[in-house]
Structure 1
């Protein structure tokens, strides 16, 4: 759709020619190629620790100590599986996530997916401006100056018409995250206490407040906008199937950075505020910075405020681009950082309008904005199962991915993740709707949900096994029509495992999705269509109840 998406890879740390390969390259040359590819995975992961993420991890540490570290460990495979699927989709299909959903599932489901994205992303950018105002407010700069200044800076960051310049600027902001480590060590953390947090527990009992925080951790760590951003950014960086292996390394680098950051933020509030009057009394990230200043020292408070400002700028940039990338996909307009403003006006005007609206909303009363920050993360967590379902369906679409479709193992892991996310959001919905549910009842619900999931997985496996057996019978019948000489010739042409692997890799590296308009659109079976409609109906109810919970919190 966009000619800027074809050409040399021009990254912050190097370049790769459009037709370059790894053949005959030394280890040093391969390493330099890896550096050139690194970017989309690292940026999307660090952008994950945005203002909402900082506030959510700080709340977990301030209210529950290190007791919820285990949630981060469980989210590592979720992060990798989800984002690795969009890596393949972006490199192979060459179009954004929104474009694929519209092309393969039609306008109804496309509007369903992209509509949710636009709403949650707009609110997420509001939280980024809240983070900017709270961080600069700590240093005495009023909101009336801080927010407009950040908005202008964020637009200038992307408006130069140079992908490399933008990526280098982001890498500079990412480097500021180094302040995480002195901040965490200055509060004298206990490694034994932190390690104990790896054991799953529900401090104070499994109630709606704790569930809302856990869903918020899920929503801020694995947000739907990440799927749209990374796929489009891979395309904008011109990464093709040949470099998928390097992009997976890029993704792992980002996951390590984001997990270390989340643990460090929890530790800063858990140990910096533990045993003080502020422990268990989270309000917002600005109050956390001040509390750390009062109880752990001015250096810790200042480092937290710097981290909050940096995270807010990275997050606003990444979420804003995710939205305008999707807007370009939806409208069929140019949407690349390689274009100048005059060459892609819709892309840049959409980005500017998004910043303007979010900056204006951020001037709402402070006590409301603090709760909205957590609420946005919870909404992202509730909407994540829907985004993951579309992702799994696309990664099983052979017309789109060809030899890059999900393996059986990948589908099993993805299915477990989707069902776990659904159960978590169901538990939150039930605990809000039925306020007097006990922890035992919720735990029983999780157990029943796990049994239902196993039964459903078994039924799917049986159905797939029958389909494979029918295909095997058809193949046998076809071979039965050959004479002995033809069968002998077929046997002699069979390849060794190593030969088959090499041919498969060559085929995979060369495969690109055909023009989407030439592909026959997949048809939902009645069962799948019913399940998708049920999921949509449930999400409407779940989102409504999350909003109810937030309103209740605002009202005390």
Structure 2
């Protein structure tokens, strides 16, 4: 019998952490990082240095819950916590993800319009339909390989930074020695970066992908039932998550750096969309940088939209005890795929509605920031719960890191409300 923890199997299955991290740099995130770089130059680079270990910690908690229990976050919440908590979290997540899908497909449509001309709204419709078709009709094992290749689109932002002149000594100093300010606009942007980097949909997605990997490999089992598989899987989760979150933050860092060294130094400080950042970059950094930046928006959107729609579907399916797996054919998991279709369709429809995409994205970030704290609290409690994790409750070190991340996000949310009230 094939050993599920063989080297070949381990390399083939590496990916939930990588895809989760890469999906964090979606077009909406690109807009946030671009605004931070344009408005504050190098002064916010430290935020991405700080959030890296926090991201690794909380995403490892999420992955371990999925792998050990054999169930996603929503299913575990349904089994062990009050219904009002489950439905409140899942409902807000569905709303936030749908708004985020709208912002992302709109940005992709606008990016393609910048590159080739034509109607941005219809490009957005095409991207939405393409994403939906890929999720529904491509089996999970092939689809996840496609998502892995799409992560390469993020390298466009690393390349862009080397196309333009960058004062690396100053950049390094500002990265390791934070510049702090108590101005409301500075605090608001710090909160936005934290909220964009540590997002609830990523928790649901990575836990569910660990469960999907269990379904895809007949020899793999939940670690509670197969403790002999724990050591290899925990090593894989640690490496996969560390690499995935590192990749995510490096790309975000270079987006912020590129816009700081180009737009910020040329007095362009008001960037509200990723497409606007690409447009502003063109006369300063040149045609090649513009094309790299714009193409990256499309590639990251194709990666992020399935994650947004999929995490909403996993959450709803777990909450209502529906069959859920991208490995299943649509006819066997109609409600699960129905949520993917509905959230994607509504997101695309919002692109045609008289809705301000910037305000929609802002309120999506607010909702994400608010629900991230209770979700993280519940995750930390679940990860230390013997009824859920059995003998594999998280270590003291990971527990401290997870609670630190939760505390930082709680402070960020309080700071957000403080700035809103001023």
The TM-score, its normalising length taken from structure 2, stands at 0.91
Pick closer, same or farther for the CA change 1:91–1:283 going to 2, 3 Å: closer
Q: Which of 326, 336, 342 is the aligned partner of 2:325?
A: 336
Measured against aligned partners, the alpha-carbon deviations of 1:330-359 in whole angstroms (never above 9, x if no partner) come to: 222221111112222112222111111011
* 1:396 matches 2:397: no
| Structure 2 equivalent of residue 157 of structure 1 | 134
Distance 1:73 1:335 in 2: 36
1:406: Cα distance to partner? 2.5
Residue in structure 2 matched with residue 20 of structure 1 by the alignment: 3
> Which residue in the other structure is 2:112 paired with?
136
Superposition deviation, residue 174 in structure 1:
1.2
Residue 361 of structure 1 is aligned with which of 345, 350, 362?
Answer: 350
Aligned to 1:488: none
Shift of 1:414: 2.6
Contact 2:63 2:237 in 1 (8 A): yes
2:312 equivalent to 1:323: yes
TM-fit CA distance, 1:161: 4.9
Contact 1:66 1:194 in 2 (8 A): yes
Aligned to 1:269: 259
- Structure whose residues are more often helix by fraction: 2
Matches within 5 A, 1:185-334: 185-198=162-175, 199-202=177-180, 205-238=181-214, 240-241=222-223, 242=229, 243-278=233-268, 280-334=269-323
1:304–1:60: structure 2 CA closer, same or farther, 3 Å change rule?
same
User: 1:52 corresponds to which residue?
Assistant: 28
CA contact (8 A) 2:106 2:121 kept: no
Query: 1:180·1:261 contact (CA, 8 Å) conserved in 2?
Result: yes
Aligned to 1:182: 159
Shift of 1:63: 0.8
Give the whole-Å Cα distance in 1 for the aligned partners of 2:14 and 2:285.
36
Higher RCO (C-alpha under 8 Å, 6+ residues apart): 2
Q: What is the match of residue 41 of structure 1?
A: 17
The equivalent of 2:226 in structure 1 is: none
| Partners of 1:216 and 1:375 within 8 A in 2 | no
Aligned to 1:420: 408
Counterpart of 1:553 in structure 2 is none
Structure 1 residues 364 and 195: alpha-carbon distance in aligned structure 2, compared to 1, 3 A threshold: farther
Q: Provide the secondary structure at the position in 2 that maps to 1:68.
A: helix
Equivalenced residue count is 406
Q: Which residues in structure 2 correspond to 1:491-530 (within 5 Å)?
A: none
Report the Cα distance in structure 2 between the residues aligned to 1:153 and 1:422, rounded to whole angstroms.
Answer: 37
Q: Aligned partners of 1:274, 1:409: CA distance in 2, in Å?
A: 39
Structure 1 residues 412 and 169 mapped into 2: Cα distance closer, same or farther (>3 Å)? closer
1:148 aligns with 2:125: yes
Q: Structure 2 vs 1, CA of residues 77 and 275 (structure 1 numbering), >3 Å: closer, same or farther? A: closer
1:180, 1:251 → 2: CA distance? 21
Q: In the aligned structure 2, how far is the partner of 1:411 from the partner of 1:338?
A: 32
Hey, what's the Cα distance between the residues in 2 that align with 1:361 and 1:120?
13
Local SS of the residue matching 2:293: helix
The structure 2 residue matched to 1:350, chosen from 335, 339, 349, is 339
Q: Deviations over 1:130-158 (max 9, x none)?
A: 22122112121312321111111001111
Mean Cα deviation higher: 284-293 or 172-181:
172-181
The more displaced of 148-157 and 421-430 is 421-430
Displacement of 1:428 after TM fit? 2.1
Instruction: Indicate if the aligned counterparts of 2:23 and 2:303 stay in contact, CA closer than 8 A.
Output: yes
Pairwise CA distance, 1:304:
0.7
Separation in structure 1 between the aligned mates of residue 10 and residue 248 of structure 2, nearest angstrom: 20
Match of 2:217 in 1: none
| Aligned with residue 75 of structure 2, among 99, 105, 121 | 99
CA contact under 8 A between 2:113 and 2:120: conserved in structure 1?
yes
Of structures 1 and 2, the larger Rg is shown by 1
Q: Which runs of 4+ in 1 moved over 6 A?
A: none
| Aligned twin of 1:411 | 399
**Separation in structure 2 between the aligned mates of residue 344 and residue 417 of structure 1, nearest angstrom:** 35
CA–CA separation in structure 2 for the residues paired with 1:100 and 1:60: 37
Counting only pairs closer than 5 Å after superposition, residues 538-549 of structure 1 correspond to structure 2 as none
Deviation at 1:275, TM superposition (A): 3.1
CA distance in 2, matches of 1:209, 1:379: 19
Look up the match of 1:496.
Answer: none
The secondary structure found in structure 1 opposite 2:266 is coil
Gaps of 5+ in 1: 1-16, 23-28, 436-556
In the alignment, what sits opposite 1:89? 65
Q: Any stretches of 5+ residues in structure 2 without a counterpart?
A: 215-219, 224-228
Equivalent residues of 2:45, 2:257 under 8 A apart: no
Q: CA RMSD in A?
A: 1.8
TM-score (norm 1): 0.70
